[in-house]
């Protein structure tokens, strides 16, 4: 396999102006005629061949300006089409015919069928599975697409852009023509045909244009798209108000599909979604699902400007659209819901998913410099760390400066395929900031450690801070130079008010931000009448691993007093994290697990604090997960000890708080009808964590059984079922509840995914046997990505003690499933394989078993590039 390098980038020799397609869909095949209007680029060699990408294609015919091309003039293979002797100057047309078999396409890239519906997925390199093409993001063209199909089988025919024509054909067939006036790269192409229901609505843009909004679903389910439609309209308003971005076509459509590799896809004017992120109602979806739909709808919609109108020059620039668009969807959620709670949730996600990636063998910079398989780079680093870099830019240049830079970016690069350098230059020009050093964040992989030490001199009233940064050399082998780290901070007085900081002249401090640029910096704050509590890295202003020398009583004070809700949460979370690490060491030594009652008391006080919104209290009470604790411990990890320790800590907190948690829990019971709004969801989240403590304290499942039986919504019902499965896996009540749940929701695939996933994550050594048995369940389908992820993915990534069994059987099973899945769908198989990324942090016995499973996998014959790439990098 070839390694693709950023430094090898060069533009194509041929320029593409227009693409005219006719796609004829039949039961057993599809015929695709693509007419390209091309011209040799000025300055390109006069003899250069035209080399088009292909992937498993079969060429039917090829014509140049209407005349069949002589076979001696081209080479066609499934992987590409090379044409020689093309005109030296002037534009010409190439007509390429291919024949596809969408019904056999299990990779779900290119044109495929899902539940009878024809649909496409082209990002990153799926268009080359439809026709031979210059399949790269810097080749932009306008598209006109004619789709033909049997009218009864596919009454709905969609492609990008605006509808142009439609009509009847002989033999019960019909056609529709779509015109997309905005030049786009091929990865944004989409086509959908099928018998679908439609939820219709409209939106009037800020300049008064009317846009038709349509969400297509499988038959009988359009009403489940109402919340998605509402989220779409709110996203459209928000992008106008926050970024001045207006929608540009006459229609915006979303199609919900049940077999989909990713969450959703931002094709121009025709988003195709995993139905998980469209369909929901209160009986079948949790509050988390509602938040997920809102976020993904917003994310894909926001791509219309950050990704589509301005796209990426090459795939190395993926974070240009993804990091920026995640930042935008995070800001949207912060505005629509609670900013503090959203920030906590985002940072928890980052530390749980991106940190292990950045600290393990799959480490790569936010802008990689090489790859073997681009599908493997749709990662937490590109997306979530990418978003953090955008947030850091906003912190460095300020909110007004950030908006000015974004305005310049939109004005200057509309219609371009841009780079990170283009993006950064806009902020430099709009604000005068120097981002030279900051740019290292894009090329240096790894999580920098930020070390903060404080010393207070009471006589002089001076607080001295020493900040140091260190970036270790990791497997990516990128640089380790000091970076520009914006550190937001506050000095909290004894009454909880922020003191006004007076840094000594010349200190790199601007307002509430310290600009750390050196490996180490010392800053003195003067004129302090009392020793303040240092609230550092407020709102997680940089993607670093923070190490402080802060004492327990300072953290307890901050957990009570800090005016910054994020840091108030983190003070508590750090205390609990340390307690859990200590508890794990106790458990491993076979000693009783101890918990400082003062820490439990701080948690209980937070739970009872009516001045805090319930969602924030719920976050504070949701302890670090077993995987979080493993990451904090870092090496020689024994997941069984972690499980015992965490459980003991939860029980200790539950017992200490029981008498106060019970009335609080009862008081959170809802009056009136169910509502998915953020406040109501927050109350449910708090009730749910309280219930878990109460169950741990009581040791009986009664409260959960009761809630499972009486809940009128999925959030409460599934929370109860989860606690039953996790706390009382062997209880008859749990078995009955699982069976009742299955039979009630048997026909709803998304709910049945939850049922699979829940059993896969039961923290018990017997989980492996359950999961193995479930692979033979009649409802299990390895070929359906959601189902494969629900069972195999959830077990590998979400069951610490099951996957990391000391006997290695968890690793062996997952490796076996990856191999089976790879034959159907390499992309999804490779994604599941990333669960091995933290294998080196375990004890030596587990390490050897994991290494053996990976090594065996890497030697399998016929392994896809996707899985091979992940496995080989994991072993490095």
CA dihedral sign of residues 213, 218, 223, 229: negative
Residue 262 binds: one of Zn ion, ligand DPP, none (C-beta under 5 to 8 A by kind): ligand DPP
Nearest to ligand DPP of 123, 135 (CB atom): 123
Nearest residue (CB) to ligand DPP, 156 versus 262? 262
CB of 301 to ligand DPP, least distance (A): 10
Q: Which is nearer to ligand DPP, 321 or 343 (CB)?
A: 321
Going by C-beta distance under 8 Å and a sequence separation of 6 or more, which residues neighbour residue 537? 450, 487, 488, 489, 544, 546, 567
CB of 498 vs ligand DPP, minimal distance in Å: 38
Residue among 196, 257, 256 at smallest CA distance from 232: 256
Mark whether 601 is an active-site residue. no
Question: CA–CA separation, 739 vs 734, rounded Å?
Answer: 9
Cα dihedral 819, 831, 305, 392, rounded to 10, equals: -160
- Least CB distance to ligand DPP at residue 255 (A): 13
- Paired tokens of 90: 């002037």
Assess 293 for contact with ligand DPP (CB under 6 A). no
Per-residue x/- track, 204-243, ligand DPP (CB under 6 A)? ----------------------------------------
Nearest approach, Cβ of residue 771 and Zn ion (Å): 31
Which one of ligand DPP, Zn ion, none interacts with residue 100, CB within 5 to 8 A by kind?
none
Beta bridge partners of 21: 34, 145
Q: What is the x/- site pattern for Zn ion, positions 276-315, by CB under 5 A? A: ----------------------------------------
Q: What is the 3-state secondary structure (H, E, C) of 405-465?
A: HHHHHHHHHCCCEECHHHHHHHHHHHHCCCCCCCCHHHHCCCCCEEEEEEEEECCCCEEEE
Q: Which of the ranges 171-179, 206-214, 296-304, 771-779 carries the binding residues for ligand DPP, by CB under 6 A?
A: 296-304
Token pair recorded at residue 208: 């008064």
Out of 265, 320, 621, 791, name the contact with ligand DPP by CB under 6 A: 265
Q: What does 615-663 look like in DSSP terms, one character per residue?
A: HHHHHHHSPPPHHHHHHHH-SSB-HHHHHHHHHHHHHHHHHHHHHHHHH
123 binds, among Zn ion, ligand DPP, none (CB under 5 to 8 A by kind): ligand DPP
How far, in Å, CA of 575 to CA of 557, rounded?
11
In the structure encoding, which two tokens stand for residue 519, read together?
Answer: 């490996």
Nearest approach, Cβ of 326 to ligand DPP (angstroms)?
Answer: 8
Q: Which is nearer to Zn ion, 325 or 713 (CB)?
A: 325
With CB under 6 A as the rule, give the number of residues binding ligand DPP.
Answer: 9
Catalytic residue among 125, 224, 294, 300: 300
Q: How far is CA 417 from CA 72, 281, 585, 728, 786, in A?
A: 35, 39, 52, 54, 32
Binds ligand DPP by CB under 6 A, chosen from 225, 256, 264, 664: 264
300 lies in the site for ligand DPP, by CB under 6 A: yes
d(CA 215, CA 205): 18
Nearest approach, Cβ of residue 391 and ligand DPP (Å): 17
Q: How far, in Å, CA of 124 to CA of 79, rounded?
A: 16
Q: What's the closest the beta carbon of residue 231 comes to ligand DPP, in angstroms?
A: 15
Nearer to ligand DPP, 322 or 586 (CB): 322
With b for 16 or more beta-carbon neighbours within 10 A and e for fewer, the 671-686 pattern comes to eeebebebebbbbbbb
Is 259 within 8 Å of 114 (Cβ atoms)? yes
R_g (Cα) of the chain, nearest Å: 28
Region of 92-100, 298-306, 386-394, 787-795 interacting with ligand DPP (CB under 6 A): 298-306
Does position 135 interact with ligand DPP (CB under 6 A)? The reply is no
Which stretches within 746-808 are classed as H helix?
749-760, 767-774, 785-788, 794-798, 800-803
Backbone angles phi, psi at 789, to 5 degrees: -70, -35
What are the Cα distances from residue 305, in Å, to 94, 244, 402, 428? 31, 11, 16, 21
Could you tell me the smallest distance in angstroms from the CB atom of residue 308 to ligand DPP?
A: 10
**388 or 647: CB nearest ligand DPP:** 388
Annotate each residue in 320-339 with x if it binds Zn ion (CB under 5 A) or - if it does not, as one string.
--x--x--------------
Nearer to ligand DPP, 259 or 716 (CB): 259
Q: Between 322 and 358, name the residue whose CB sits nearer to ligand DPP.
A: 322
Give which of 56, 101, 104, 62 is closest to 80, Cα–Cα.
56
Which single residue brings its beta carbon nearest to ligand DPP? Answer: 265
Listed ranges 10-18, 236-244, 257-265, 425-433: which one lies at the site for ligand DPP (CB under 6 A): 257-265
C-beta closer to ligand DPP: residue 34 or 295? 295
| Closest approach of ligand DPP to the CB of residue 267, in Å | 9
First-to-last C-alpha distance (Å) of the chain:
17
- Minimum distance of ligand DPP from residue 192's CB (angstroms): 15
Tokens of 637: 């990890």
Count of alpha carbons within 13 angstroms of residue 25, beta-carbon side: 32
Q: By CB under 6 A, what part of segment 107-126 binds ligand DPP?
A: 123
Name the one range near Zn ion by CB under 5 A: 183-191, 317-325, 590-598, 709-717.
Answer: 317-325
Q: Using CA atoms in the order 805, 806, 808, 809, what is the torsion angle rounded to 10 degrees?
A: -50
Q: Residue 138 in contact with residue 417, Cβ under 8 Å? A: yes
CA-nearest of 568, 549, 543, 546 to 557 is 568
* Binding of ligand DPP by 539 (CB under 6 A): no
95 binds ligand DPP (CB under 6 A): no
Task: List phi, psi (to 5°) of 609.
Answer: -75, 100
512 binds, among ligand DPP, Zn ion, none (CB under 5 to 8 A by kind): none
Of 262-270, 480-488, 567-575, 625-633, the window that binds ligand DPP (rule: CB under 6 A) is: 262-270
E-strand ranges in 41-124 read: 50-53, 59-64, 67-68, 74-77, 80-83, 91-100, 110-114, 117-121
Closer of 257 and 704 to ligand DPP (Cβ): 257
**Judged by CB, which is closer to Zn ion: 13, or 300?**
300
Q: By CB under 6 A, which span of 112-120, 299-307, 641-649, 700-708 interacts with ligand DPP?
A: 299-307
Q: Look at strands 545-548 and 449-457 and give their pairing.
A: parallel
Which lies closer to Zn ion via its Cβ, residue 307 or residue 356?
307
Which residue from 13, 55, 259, 266 is in contact with ligand DPP, where contact means CB under 6 A?
266
Q: What is the DSSP string of 555-589?
A: HHHHHHH-SSHHHHHHHHHHHHHHHHHHHHHHHHT
> How many whole angstroms from its chain centre is CA 692?
27
Query: Rule CB under 6 A: is residue 262 a binding residue for ligand DPP?
Result: yes
Part of the chain binding ligand DPP (CB under 6 A), chosen from 264-272, 413-421, 486-494, 712-720: 264-272
Q: Which is nearer to ligand DPP, 320 or 629 (CB)?
A: 320
In the complex, least distance from residue 300 CB atom to Zn ion, rounded to whole angstroms: 7
Alpha carbon distance 57, 113 (integer Å): 17
- Smallest distance from Zn ion to CB 656, Å: 44
CB atoms within 10 A of CB 311: 24
CB atoms within 10 A of CB 490: 21
Of the candidate residues 148, 180, 322, 539, the single one contacting ligand DPP (CB under 6 A): 322
What does the DSSP assignment read for 526-563?
A: ---SSPPEEEESGGG-SS-EEEE---HHHHHHHHHH-S
Partner that binds at residue 264, options ligand DPP, Zn ion, none, CB closer than 5 to 8 Å by kind: ligand DPP
Residues that bind ligand DPP (CB under 6 A): 123, 262, 264-266, 299-300, 303, 322
Residues that bind Zn ion (CB under 5 A): 322, 325
Catalytic sites, residue numbers: 300
């Amino acid at each position: 396999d070839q390694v693709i390098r950023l430094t090898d980038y060069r533009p194509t020799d041929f320029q593409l102006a227009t693409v005219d397609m006719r796609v004829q869909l039949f039961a057993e095949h599809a015929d695709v005629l693509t007419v390209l209007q091309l011209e040799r680029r000025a300055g390109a060699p006069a003899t250069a061949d035209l080399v088009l990408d292909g992937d498993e294609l079969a060429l039917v015919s090829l014509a140049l300006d209407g005349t069949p091309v002589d076979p001696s003039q081209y080479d066609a293979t499934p992987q590409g089409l090379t044409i020689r002797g093309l005109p030296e100057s002037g534009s010409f047309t190439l007509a390429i015919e291919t024949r596809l078999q969408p019904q056999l396409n299990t990779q779900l890239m290119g044109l495929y069928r899902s539940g009878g519906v024809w649909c496409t997925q082209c990002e990153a390199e799926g268009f080359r599975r439809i026709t031979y093409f210059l399949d790269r993001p810097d080749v932009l063209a306008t598209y006109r697409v004619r789709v033909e199909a049997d009218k009864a089988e596919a009454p709905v025919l969609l492609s990008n852009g605006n509808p142009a024509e439609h009509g009847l054909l002989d033999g019960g067939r019909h056609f529709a023509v779509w015109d997309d006036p905005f030049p786009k790269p091929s990865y944004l192409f989409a086509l959908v045909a099928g018998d679908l229901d439609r939820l219709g609505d409209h939106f009037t843009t800020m300049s008064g244009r009317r846009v038709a909004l349509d969400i297509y679903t499988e038959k009988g389910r359009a009403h489940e798209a109402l919340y998605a439609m509402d989220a779409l309209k709110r996203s459209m308003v928000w992008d106008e108000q926050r970024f001045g971005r207006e929608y540009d076509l006459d229609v915006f459509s979303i199609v919900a599909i049940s077999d989909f590799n990713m969450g959703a896809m931002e094709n121009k004017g025709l988003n195709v979604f995993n139905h998980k992120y469209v369909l929901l109602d209160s009986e079948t979806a949790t509050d988390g699902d509602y938040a997920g739909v809102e976020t993904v709808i917003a994310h894909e919609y926001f791509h219309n400007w950050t990704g589509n109108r301005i796209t990426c020059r090459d795939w190395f620039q993926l974070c240009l659209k993804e990091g920026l668009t995640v930042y935008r969807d995070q800001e949207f959620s912060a505005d629509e819901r609670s900013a503090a709670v959203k920030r906590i949730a985002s940072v928890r996600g980052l530390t749980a998913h991106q940190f292990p990636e950045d600290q393990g063998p799959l480490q790569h910079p936010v802008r990689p410099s090489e790859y073997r398989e681009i599908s493997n780079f749709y990662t937490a680093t590109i997306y979530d760390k990418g978003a953090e870099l955008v947030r850091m830019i906003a912190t460095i240049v300020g909110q007004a400066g950030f908006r000015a830079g974004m305005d310049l970016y939109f004005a200057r690069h509309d219609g371009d395929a841009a780079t990170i350098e283009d993006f950064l230059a806009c902020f430099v020009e709009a604000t005068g900031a120097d981002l030279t050093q900051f740019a290292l964040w894009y090329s240096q992989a790894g999580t920098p450690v930020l070390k903060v030490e404080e010393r207070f001199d009471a006589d002089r009233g001076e607080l001295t801070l020493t900040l140091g940064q260190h970036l270790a050399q990791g497997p990516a082998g990128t640089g380790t130079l000091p970076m520009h780290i914006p550190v937001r901070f506050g000095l909290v007085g004894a009454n909880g008010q922020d003191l006004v900081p007076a840094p000594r002249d010349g200190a790199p401090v601007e307002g509430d931000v310290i600009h750390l640029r050196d490996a180490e910096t010392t800053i003195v704050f003067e004129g302090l009448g009392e020793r303040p509590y240092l609230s550092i890295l407020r709102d997680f202003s940089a993607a670093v691993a923070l190490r402080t020398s802060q004492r327990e009583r300072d953290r307890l004070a901050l957990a009570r007093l800090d005016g910054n809700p994020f840091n108030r949460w983190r003070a508590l979370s750090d205390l609990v994290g340390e307690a859990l690490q200590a508890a794990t060491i106790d458990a491993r030594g076979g000693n009783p697990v101890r918990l400082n009652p003062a820490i439990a008391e701080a948690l209980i006080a937070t739970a009872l604090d009516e001045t805090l919104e319930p969602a924030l209290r719920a976050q504070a009470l949701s302890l670090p997960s077993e995987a979080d604790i493993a990451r904090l411990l870092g090496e020689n990890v024994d997941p069984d000890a972690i499980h015992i320790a965490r459980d003991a800590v939860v029980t200790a907190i539950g017992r200490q708080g029981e008498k106060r948690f019970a009335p609080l829990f009862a008081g959170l019971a809802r009056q009136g009808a169910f509502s998915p709004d953020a406040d109501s969801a927050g109350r449910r989240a708090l009730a749910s964590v309280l219930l878990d403590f109460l169950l741990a304290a009581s040791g009986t499942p009664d409260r959960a059984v009761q809630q499972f039986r009486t809940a009128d919504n999925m959030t409460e019902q599934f929370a109860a079922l989860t606690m039953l499965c996790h706390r009382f896996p062997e209880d008859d009540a749990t078995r009955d509840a699982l069976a009742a749940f299955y039979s009630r929701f048997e026909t709803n695939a998304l709910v049945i995914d939850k049922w699979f996933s829940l059993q896969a994550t039961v923290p018990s050594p017997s989980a492996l046997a359950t999961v193995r048995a479930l692979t033979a369940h009649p409802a299990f389908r390895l070929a359906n990505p959601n189902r494969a992820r629900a069972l195999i993915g959830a077990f590998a990534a979400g069951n610490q003690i099951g996957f990391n069994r000391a006997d290695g059987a968890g690793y062996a099973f997952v490796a076996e499933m990856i191999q089976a899945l790879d034959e159907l769908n390499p992309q999804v198989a490779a994604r599941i394989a990333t669960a091995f990324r933290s294998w080196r942090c375990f004890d030596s016995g587990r390490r050897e078993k994991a290494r053996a499973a990976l090594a065996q996998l890497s030697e399998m014959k016929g392994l896809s590039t996707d899985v091979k790439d992940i496995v080989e990098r994991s072993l490095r």
